[in-house]
Structure 1
Amino acid sequence: MQGTPIESVKSGIRQLHRDLLGDPQAIESAYLSVLTFSNAAQQAVPLTEVAMFNPPDLQASGQTNFGDGLRLLLECFDREIVRTTADQKGDWRPLVFVLSDGAPTDVDWPVYAQQLRERRPANIIAVACGDQADTEVLKQITEIVIQMQDMSPDAFKAFFRFVSASVKQTSAKVGAVADGGSITLPPPPPGITIVP
């Protein structure tokens, strides 16, 4: 994503943060993290409670190393999510949004996609941004794939309102969904469709 789309994503993350700061339940239970992938993947912001989160200044460049992004996502789950054991209550199942506007440029991604599908460490929503996004690749990591054809600033605003509503809804139901259970998302805004 370059130009207007990446600027819209940055603006959307800032708006998401402001929205969550206004929700007492989200402040108590939600954490945010941002991962990016281009030539290589990096964690722009580690898992951080909403009140302490600082939206990153994202830059778009390079290729689409999807496999490295999925590998890093799996590592972050292992490193940052507390698992439930006989001695401790762990974290609730994360809600993850994976945005892509193209197709992988690496060959390793199917290995990590399969690990994500087998482990099911989170509720993952894949977002195909624009008409160049490969929805078949995104279906390899999750059953929930949504398509956002319009990549205008207004479309990204609507999308991030949907993300905010999803996080708030999930935060409000913490404890009602079993550790390995799935969540119910709010309806997507106009212009965003669920890929069958």
Structure 2
Amino acid sequence: MDDVPYSMRQKCLPTYLVIDASHSMTPYQDMVNRTLDRLHRKLADSPRVSEFAHMSIIAFSSSAQLVIEMTDLELIPAMPEVVCSGNTDYRAAFDLVRARIDIDVAALNARGRAVLRPAMFFLTDGQPTEPGWEAAFKKLVDPAWKRHPHVITYGFGTVQSEVLAKVATKAAFYAEEGTRQDEALTQAINSLLNSLVASSRAEEMQIPTVAEGYRTIPVEYMD
């Protein structure tokens, strides 16, 4: 593939869905898995989107788990189940995403794709419980690292808006008061899907500016 000019290669957006699977999400575990199944079906039924936005899914609690390696979700027959338990360790999530970006971007380049800067959609219902997460986030989004991702956050439950603003580089959303957590989760995935559909049409990352059921929070970190 090295002989194919970069400008003629098919564009690809490495996309990371990073979802809170800590103990506080246990009452919504079935909803989490149903929502992931729905995401899988939507992308599998939209070849143009799934070919453009290759997706990896990471669940985090006391540690971070790679649920789905980066792939075209059209090739995945069924979504593995996520089990909710443990603490809310943001650091574990950020460290795993950074490690996976290096692996995934190299693999996509080797397949002859024109790889865009990655995008990370971060969904959480709770405050970070472990130290070190801010340093891990700064490392993840360090502009000196060429592959640093765009970060979009969605928060509900007990997470504070100030934290969501810190853990974002492009957009941060907080569920409107009175929104149930299952509704907030569904609406966040809808926003993600809308963004990926728009991105595939434009062949570049389209950052969501609004999300139904959420209010927009000013982002503290801007890249």
Partner residue, 1:42: 65
Cα pair 2:156 2:184 within 8 Å, conserved: no
Cα pair 1:27 1:50 within 8 Å, conserved: yes
Using the size of structure 2 for normalisation, the TM-score is 0.74
Report % sequence identity. 22
Cα pair 1:21 1:50 within 8 Å, conserved: yes
Partner residue, 2:3: none
Count of residues paired in the alignment:
186
Unaligned stretches of 5+ residues in structure 2: 1-23, 219-223
Post-superposition offset of 1:7: 2.2
Partner residue, 2:50: 27
Post-superposition offset of 1:75: 0.6
Partner residue, 1:122: 149
Partner residue, 2:12: none
Using the size of structure 1 for normalisation, the TM-score is 0.83
Q: Are 2:5 and 1:9 equivalent residues in the alignment?
A: no
Moved over 6 A (4+): none
Could you say what the CA RMSD is over the residues aligned between the two structures, in angstroms? 2.4
Post-superposition offset of 1:14: 1.2
Cα pair 2:198 2:206 within 8 Å, conserved: no
Q: Against the structure 1 CA distance between its residues 51 and 37, is the aligned structure 2 distance closer, same or farther, given a 3 Å change threshold?
A: same
Partner residue, 2:14: none
Post-superposition offset of 1:140: 2.4
- Structure 2 distance, partners of 1:117, 1:135, is 19
Post-superposition offset of 1:186: 6.0
Cα pair 2:156 2:181 within 8 Å, conserved: no
Cα pair 2:43 2:49 within 8 Å, conserved: yes
Taking the TM superposition and a 5 Å limit, the aligned residue runs for 1:1-196 are 1-53=24-76, 54-82=78-106, 90-119=114-143, 121-130=148-157, 132-143=158-169, 144-149=171-176, 150-174=179-203, 177=204, 183-185=206-208, 187-189=210-212, 191-196=213-218
CA deviations on 1:3-60 (whole Å, 9 max, x unpaired) are: 4433222211111121122223113222221111111112111111121233220111
